[in-house]
Homo-oligomer: A and B are copies of this chain.
Amino acid sequence: MSKPGRTILASKVAETFNTEIINNVEEYKKTHNGQGPLLVGFLANNDPAAKMYATWTQKTSESMGFRYDLRVIEDKDFLEEAIIQANGDDSVNGIMVYFPVFGNAQDQYLQQVVCKEKDVEGLNHVYYQNLYHNVRYLDKENRLKSILPCTPLAIVKILEFLKIYNNLLPEGNRLYGKKCIVINRSEIVGRPLAALLANDGATVYSVDVNNIQKFTRGESLKLNKHHVEDLGEYSEDLLKKCSLDSDVVITGVPSENYKFPTEYIKEGAVCINFACTKNFSDDVKEKASLYVPMTGKVTIAMLLRNMLRLVRNVELSKEK
């Protein structure tokens, strides 16, 4: 009997967003001398993957009506000044940096140099802190929307597309009853993603090399913060147990060799990989109902959607 598992491509998920983005850019152009918003990308390394990503963001953003300016910085020690210059340049609407630059903690410093008003990737501390506390706006009047980091947001949008978010349930509760496992607990994607899903009602198993934690929605009404419980040190047994309990398996292990064991996947689970390498084996569809092998195209749609939100925030701030 053939298995009914289907592959869903990120390009398919991105389509609906892309139409909306293109329309919004068209509207923007009408009041800006026919010019789209300007996205500046900073490339300060020779990493071929980063270069490819730069070419690809340029192509995508320009195809959707944005202007894109790639600024190649030969000496990475001048990157910080170049970002500060762009922060202060009114003609620049959005800024992104192709990491890694130094490949160490200095990159986290650089992330915070991009001013939050132009941070299309949503990496600013303020945005992460709002995410963790389920705060949706930057101001008390709820006019300026907080930005969500691109990749976690892309995965939420994919889960919505796949109907894992049930829109019969009230907003903020649409993952109620769902269990997810996230293999990655980086500060950039894995931990914020687990918090986002928990804040929407899911039970989330969060896995890193050291241990496995369970994220659930917190009880604290004031801060709406998710709750984290340590389940134990990492072991194959614990991983298998948590994974077989999960309706959704999300992987993000940046290694060519890593493959999530297919036998740990619950029959009919949804599998999503956000790593650049293939984290699932070819036989994943023997178990998965829906399989999303890559998420990049949704991530870039979210990046451009964030950019339009930032443009709108600036306009609203001026109106005040």
Binding site for B on A (CB under 8 A): 77, 80-81, 84, 105-106, 108-109, 112-113, 125, 128-129, 132, 186-187, 191, 220, 223, 225, 227-228
Contact = CB atoms under 8 A, between A and B. Distances in A.
B112 A125 contact: yes
23 contacts: A77-B227, A77-B228, A80-B132, A80-B225, A81-B220, A81-B223, A81-B225, A84-B223, A105-B108, A105-B186, A105-B187, A106-B187, A106-B191, A108-B108, A108-B187, A109-B125, A109-B128, A109-B187, A112-B112, A112-B125, A112-B129, A113-B129, A125-B125
| Secondary structure dominating the interface of A | helix
A139 to B, nearest CB: 17
Contacts of A227: 77
A80 B132 CA distance: 10
Contacts of A129: 112-113
Given A80-B225, A105-B186, 20 more contacts: A77-B227, A77-B228, A80-B132, A81-B220, A81-B225, A84-B223, A105-B108, A105-B187, A106-B187, A106-B191, A108-B108, A108-B187, A109-B125, A109-B128, A109-B187, A112-B112, A112-B125, A112-B129, A113-B129, A125-B125
A81 B113 CA distance: 25
Q: This chain: how many copies in the complex?
A: 2
A128 B112 CA distance: 11
A163 to B, nearest CB: 31
A285 to B, nearest CB: 34
Contacts of A125: 109, 112, 125
A101 B44 CA distance: 33
A212 to B, nearest CB: 15
A48 B191 CA distance: 28
A41 to B, nearest CB: 21
